[in-house]
Amino acid sequence: MSTAPSPAPSSRAGSGPAARTLADADTPFAVVDVHRARRNIARLRERADRLGVALRPHVKTAKSPDAALLHDGSPGPVTVSTLAEAEAFADAGHSDLTYAVGIEPHKLPRVIALARRGVTLRLLLDSTEQATFVAAAAREAGIALPTQIEIDCDGHRGGLEPDASGLTGIGRILHDAGCLDGVLTHAGESYFCRTAEEQREAARNERDAAVTAAGRLRAAGLPVATVSVGSTPTAHAADDLTGITELRAGNYVFFDLVMAGLGVCDLADLALSVVVTVIGHRPEYGWIVTDGGWMAMSRDRGTAVQAQDQGYGLVTDLSGALIPDLVMTAASQEHGTLTARNGAVLPELPIGTRLRVLPNHACATAAQHHGYHVIDGSRGTTAAPAVEAYWPRVTGW
């Protein structure tokens, strides 16, 4: 028995090497339509340009340097959710990263190691306690650790409220150590907005929280460079980002059924799907059984709280054409159950038939896979789309 982590005995990504088409690789496996991803990116890029803010993609959804390159063709500023992502994107040439999860002391050695490589890794915190140990670590290491103060705009997760009494004190501790970079907020509640107007209101509220906090710091004589906001719904709803310097979002590259349910995108924008194979039929129950269970889709049931519950996902044929009213309604570890709804007739799909399932939540479904088989939907519809590339994912922490 060894204490050193070693590679898993097998890490197949549902694929033999060099799958030519989606009919080749062993199911289940994840697919990305690069044409849709490019279109989704262009849409948000155009919005950010119009609103006069920088776009800092959150790579936590795709976790793929290849996917991030779709933005500009070269490694740009990104947001990361783990230090493993930070290290992998630094390895891929990205030099401006924001680690958007509150920092704790044990992670500082890896943070400092990245800083010493010349990578700008912006940290996040919301307490005097954290500011104190970040400032001490920066002084001890003799380097700046650019840090943002997390602002809570909607009671969703971490952060200080914009009018919190402790804000300027934290800003001062960071500034005195050369570490104050700015403020960051995330409208987590926007995922539960039901109308476009609610989303616009969430975007205004997110902006106001960040601008108010930045204003208080500046009024105290503390320079604020970065004023960062973002969530995929608010990024697509914002009508005025005056005072904001950058927009973060992640899900928009792939989109998913939750985003479609919020009206942020159409089903035709969903760039991520999972290829599964029919392995059985239970006509007495009205079921088609597939080899894609929750291990392939995740347990995420994000649409369960929306007006239209989409089960574990909607179903298309292998070409990507939606099969109306066919829904993945149940999952065990390696089995998916498809049923017809709205009185539709269950289609006849023999054993061995390949289908694609559009997920509730792209971040969670993508995380079940080691990588993506990449197709290009702009090449026209074919029964078995050609695989253009395989993109590995960053995993672990």
Q: Distance between CA 84 and CA 90 in Å, rounded?
A: 10
256 binds a second copy (CB under 8 A): no
List 73, 343, 352, 380, residue binding a second copy (CB under 8 A) = 352
Between 166 and 215, CB nearer to a second copy: 166
List 5, 118, 142, 380, residue binding a second copy (CB under 8 A) = 5
Between 158 and 215, CB nearer to a second copy: 158
Between 245 and 339, CB nearer to a second copy: 339
List 32, 68, 70, 103, residue binding a second copy (CB under 8 A) = 103
Between 47 and 369, CB nearer to a second copy: 369
94 binds a second copy (CB under 8 A): no
Contact segment (CB under 8 A) with a second copy among 115-123, 192-200, 263-271, 350-358 equals 350-358
By CB under 8 A, the residues from 175 to 234 that bind a second copy are 188
Look at residues 21, 20, 61 and name the one whose alpha carbon lies nearest to residue 37. Answer: 61
DSSP one-letter string for 180-221: EEEEEE--GGGGG--SHHHHHHHHHHHHHHHHHHHHHHHHTT
Q: How far is the CB of 50 from a second copy (least distance, A)?
A: 28
Q: How far is the CB of 332 from a second copy (least distance, A)?
A: 6
19 binds a second copy (CB under 8 A): yes
Q: Distance between CA 39 and CA 271 in Å, rounded?
A: 10
By CB under 8 A, the residues from 118 to 137 that bind a second copy are 126-127, 129-130
Q: How far is the CB of 23 from a second copy (least distance, A)?
A: 8
CA atoms lying within 13 Å on the CB side of residue 295: 14
> Which strand ranges, in their side-by-side order, compose the sheet holding 96-99?
54-57, 246-249, 226-229, 180-185, 147-151, 120-125, 96-99, 78-80
Between 51 and 206, CB nearer to a second copy: 206
By CB under 8 A, the residues from 274 to 313 that bind a second copy are 277-282, 285, 289, 291, 294-296, 298-301
Q: Is 31 exposed, middle or buried (0-12, 13-18, 19+ CB in 10 A)?
A: buried
Evaluated on CA atoms 340, 346, 348, 352, the torsion sign reads: positive
Pairing mode, if any, of strands 335-340 and 54-57? Answer: unpaired
Between 196 and 330, CB nearer to a second copy: 330
